[in-house]
Structure 1
């Protein structure tokens, strides 16, 4: 029986991961930057310009959104530590997307490197 770790390792063998040091350029080059974490994780902080599509809804959202259906989109994914992003990248490859990469180490590596984190502003009611 395979474990989640086995599935992530198999996905990482199939997908291209980029290092945090190269991520800023990859973000500029991407057509879409996707945070595949859960909504509460995204709300706590995310990479500027990222759209939130949780791992569980990824295939459905990409299939339903005409702006995301071109198979030659340059897609960059990330999650907390890179496991969910690797699984998501493998799924998108299986759907026929040609240019899918993920950030090695994910959001945690990005934040640990001192890179900027976007947080939604709390509205003021004053």
Structure 2
């Protein structure tokens, strides 16, 4: 029986990953940067410019949004530590997307490297 970690390892063997040292360039060159974490994770901080499409609805959202349907889009995917992103990248590859990569180490590695983090601004009602 396979574990979640087995599935992630198998996915990582079949996808492209960019290490955090080179992630800035991949993010700049991406047509779409997708954070596949849950909305509350995204709200706590995310890579600037990322859109939030949780892993559980990713394929459905891409299939129902005409702007995200072209298979030649350059997509960069990340999650917290890169497991969900690896599974997502493999799924998008299976859907026919031609240029998909995942950020090795995910958001945690990005933030630990001191790269910019966007956080929503809460209104001040005082």
* Root mean square deviation, CA, Å: 0.6
- Using the alignment, how far apart are the partners of 1:44 and 1:28 within structure 2? 22
Partner of 1:118: 118
Q: Give 2:44's aligned residue.
A: 44
Alignment size in residue pairs:
126
User: SS in structure 2 opposite 1:14?
Assistant: coil
The residue number in structure 2 matching 1:86 is 86
Deviation at 1:10, TM superposition (A): 0.5
Find the counterpart in structure 2 of residue 109 from structure 1: 109
Unaligned regions of 5+ residues in structure 1, if any? none
**Runs of 4 or more above 4 Å deviation:** none
Q: Displacement of 1:116 after TM fit?
A: 1.0
**Separation (CA, whole Å) in 2 of partners of 1:16 and 1:123:** 39
Question: Which residue is 1:22 aligned to?
Answer: 22
Q: Deviations over 1:23-48 (max 9, x none)?
A: 11111100000000011100000000
For 2:24 and 2:60, the matched residues in 1 are separated by: 28
Matched position secondary structure for 1:41: helix
Match of 1:98 in 2: 98
Aligned to 1:62: 62
Partner of 1:34: 34
Cα distance in 1 for residues equivalent to 2:68 and 2:60 = 11
- TM-score in terms of structure 2 length: 0.98
Q: Partners of 2:60 and 2:39 in 1: how far apart? A: 16
* SS of aligned partner of 1:118: coil
Determine helix, strand or coil for the equivalent of 2:77: strand
TM-score (norm 1): 0.98
Matched with 1:7 is: 7
